[in-house]
Structure 1
Amino acid sequence: MDYKEKRKKIIEQKQNKELLEMDEAITGFLQSRKLKNLTENTHDFYFQTLSKFKEFLAENDVSRPIDVITEDVYEFIQRRLDIGNKASTVNKYIRGLRAFFNHLHSSGYLNENPMEPIDKLVEEKRINRTLSREQVVALLDAPDRGTIAGFRAYVFLLVLLDTGIRLEEALTFRVHDVYWKERVIQIYGKGRTERVVPFSETLALRLREYQEMRGEQEHDIFFVNAEGQPLRRRYVQEQISDYGKMANIKGVRVSCHSLRYTFARNYLMNGGDIVSLMSIMGHKTLEMVKLYAEMYQPDISMQHTKYSPVNSILND
């Protein structure tokens, strides 16, 4: 289809917006997102969100976006809550639907946007428990470092604990993203944002060892499996959980998230500031790192008592 034909079709759609079905609307929306160079994960998020909403609408005999009213969205939100979704999860649905209907409204397919009166749900702000020093040691002892797979898992755990990067970021950084002299990794985070994350000398040694063990591969992804292919997200999640069980860690759900929080807690306890922590962890605002500081305040207060200059000077 050439440009003129495509343009003609768009005009016809606007003139006949009452004919636009959900399937066609979703397809058009997803195509528009591709032009924004969104990640595959973000594309999948929109697809899953809109598919669930479409199924819900079908139960109520609604098949066209023009027939959707605000009450339909409220009912969908209530349905998600009724089946046990947390407020944070429901807010993701709201975010996806808002992007979808904003697109339809701005493109001329809707006279009114059903999402306009919809607000986000209030979320309970909390951070999961973190691993103690003893638990971290036990976790790192779990992989069999005598095997390539075990040593790779050990180094992967070190990366999460030493840098605080997200699982997806650890799975996708490449060999050329590691700058050995500066000891930083170029990370491509959410929404394809870029940042550099420092790492320790200890991790540098282990990364070097793994890279030598890894050898030349077809993929430039740093962490690869025995076939030289990128590691799968689910495989790594299950593996980390299994290592937590092997280490007999109790009271903490061992996951990529808990390791990220463990990094944040220890960074603050060891004298790190929230501004640099925000940069390292890839947060766009201070809100989340302020929450870290509030949650770990007792630990930070203990550190202050231990290292207080006044206590040190006057009690000598």
Structure 2
Amino acid sequence: MPRRRNRLTMDVNPKQVDAELLDDWDLARDSFLRDCRVRNLSEHTVKYYRNELETLRKTLVAGKAPTDPTKIMAEHIKEAVILPMMDAGKKETTINARLRAARSFFNFLERERYIMDNPMASVQLVRQKRSVVQTFTRQQVLAILGAPDQMTFTGVRDYTLLLLLFETGLRVKELVNVRIDDIRFEDGVLRVQDPKGINERLVPFQTTVRGQLRKYLSLRGKLEHDFLFVNIDNEPISIRQVQNRFRIYGRIAGITNVRCSPHTARHTFARMFVASGGDAFTLQRILGHTTLEMTKRYVALFSDEITKSHKKHSPIEKLF
């Protein structure tokens, strides 16, 4: 009996078996967004994907590249998307935001066997320059906190939310989503949820913030909803309103060298936490980072260990 041939011959491409190719961009996009909703992704995430994919389609058209998902190749992404965005002076973060959306989109199409080849398989994110993380100084934090007029309801509200931002490092979208029953005064912690209430974490706060929250709540009173921060019409305060108020208080405080925003307050919290000896794992849990990448960056930037070590071993200092 002759020996069996070891090498197999395939008459059919295994990737073609049972494949139902989607050659229409709109149908492919809608299928992907439907899957995002089925996976219960946040409204913010779905909106991000929708906007980025629409811009991606327009960019491909402008670059005379195909929009048929089955015909798009890696070279189309590189030549019609990445290079034109670079030439237009777009930031690396903006380019990578589009590439991440494209990667999720084509990964879905490949997983569902709507395309034969994934063009993003060989496309890497653009290398980002590590920019300096801006933070407020101690004096600037005090100046911002001193800016609200606490003889008004909005002033007390703003002072309270500013204090809470600097105390907890909350994202602004988390701040506006805080409900009254998220505050656990007896434990000194705040329950922080995403807008859909799927993920949550407990963030500590201390005596000063506890007292200020009680003062604000006495002024807020009982309303038909339980959102913590409200405007003078007793409606939940919006992200845009918080951002605008922060800018106003930055101008009042005379701050010109740092961007006055809730996210700068988040960076400032991280710097102060690390400078006080806080560890990376605790900081990760407080900030709600899914990975240690950004937390490690905070530690690397703000830890005084490097400065102390340099002071101890400085070559120049040892010369004199």
TM-score interval (norm. to shorter): 0.7 to 0.9
Opposite residue 53 of structure 1, the aligned amino acid is: L
Aligned match for 1:237, one of 231, 234, 243: 243
Work out whether residues 275 and 304 of structure 2, in 8 Å CA contact, stay in contact via their aligned partners in 1.
Answer: no
Partner of 1:289 in structure 2?
295
| 3-state SS in 2 of match to 1:66 | coil
Q: Percent identity?
A: 34
Partner of 2:45 in structure 1?
42
* Alignment of structure 1 residues 68-83 onto 2, 5 Å: 68-74=72-78, 75-83=80-88
Work out whether residues 127 and 292 of structure 1, in 8 Å CA contact, stay in contact via their aligned partners in 2.
Answer: no
Shift, 1:135, TM fit:
0.8
* Alignment of structure 1 residues 216-295 onto 2, 5 Å: 216-295=222-301
Shift, 1:49, TM fit:
0.5
Q: 2 CA distance for matches of 1:186 and 1:224?
A: 18
Aligned match for 1:151, one of 151, 156, 163: 156
Shift, 1:167, TM fit:
0.9
**Offset from partner CA, 1:115-138 (integer Å, 9 cap, x none):** 110112222233422111111111
| 3-state SS in 1 of match to 2:277 | coil
Which structure 1 residue ranges, 4+ long, deviate > 6 Å from structure 2?
none
- The answer for unaligned runs of 5 or more in structure 1 is 1-13, 306-316
Partner of 1:54 in structure 2?
57
Q: 2 CA distance for matches of 1:48 and 1:72?
A: 20
Opposite residue 235 of structure 1, the aligned amino acid is: Q
| 3-state SS in 2 of match to 1:185 | strand
Partner of 2:3 in structure 1?
none
Aligned match for 2:30, one of 20, 27, 32: 27
Q: Does 1:184 align with 2:186?
A: no
Q: Given the two structures, how large is their TM-score scaled by the length of structure 1?
A: 0.85
Work out whether residues 189 and 282 of structure 1, in 8 Å CA contact, stay in contact via their aligned partners in 2.
Answer: no
Work out whether residues 265 and 292 of structure 1, in 8 Å CA contact, stay in contact via their aligned partners in 2.
Answer: yes
Mark the structure with the bigger radius of gyration: 2
Work out whether residues 275 and 303 of structure 2, in 8 Å CA contact, stay in contact via their aligned partners in 1.
Answer: no
Work out whether residues 131 and 252 of structure 1, in 8 Å CA contact, stay in contact via their aligned partners in 2.
Answer: yes
Shift, 1:284, TM fit:
2.3
* Alignment of structure 1 residues 295-314 onto 2, 5 Å: 295-298=301-304, 301=307
Work out whether residues 167 and 256 of structure 1, in 8 Å CA contact, stay in contact via their aligned partners in 2.
Answer: yes
Q: Given the two structures, how large is their TM-score scaled by the length of structure 2?
A: 0.84
Partner of 1:164 in structure 2?
169
Opposite residue 71 of structure 2, the aligned amino acid is: D
Work out whether residues 191 and 201 of structure 2, in 8 Å CA contact, stay in contact via their aligned partners in 1.
Answer: yes
Shift, 1:190, TM fit:
9.0
| 3-state SS in 1 of match to 2:290 | coil
Q: 2 CA distance for matches of 1:38 and 1:186?
A: 20
Partner of 2:112 in structure 1?
107
**Offset from partner CA, 1:160-217 (integer Å, 9 cap, x none):** 1000111111111211111111111111249943211001110111111112211222
Shift, 1:218, TM fit:
2.6
Q: 1 CA distance for matches of 2:29 and 2:234?
A: 36
Work out whether residues 68 and 114 of structure 1, in 8 Å CA contact, stay in contact via their aligned partners in 2.
Answer: yes
Shift, 1:271, TM fit:
2.5
Shift, 1:301, TM fit:
4.6
Shift, 1:276, TM fit:
1.0
Q: Which shows bigger deviation, 80-89 or 203-212? A: 80-89
Work out whether residues 164 and 259 of structure 1, in 8 Å CA contact, stay in contact via their aligned partners in 2.
Answer: yes
**Offset from partner CA, 1:99-146 (integer Å, 9 cap, x none):** 111111111210111111011222223342211111111101111111
**Cα RMSD between the aligned structures?**
2.2
Q: 2 CA distance for matches of 1:61 and 1:265?
A: 45
Shift, 1:273, TM fit:
1.8
Partner of 2:7 in structure 1?
none
Q: For the structure 1 residues 253 and 299, does the alpha-carbon distance in structure 2 shift closer, same or farther, using more than 3 Å as the test? A: farther
More helix by share: 1
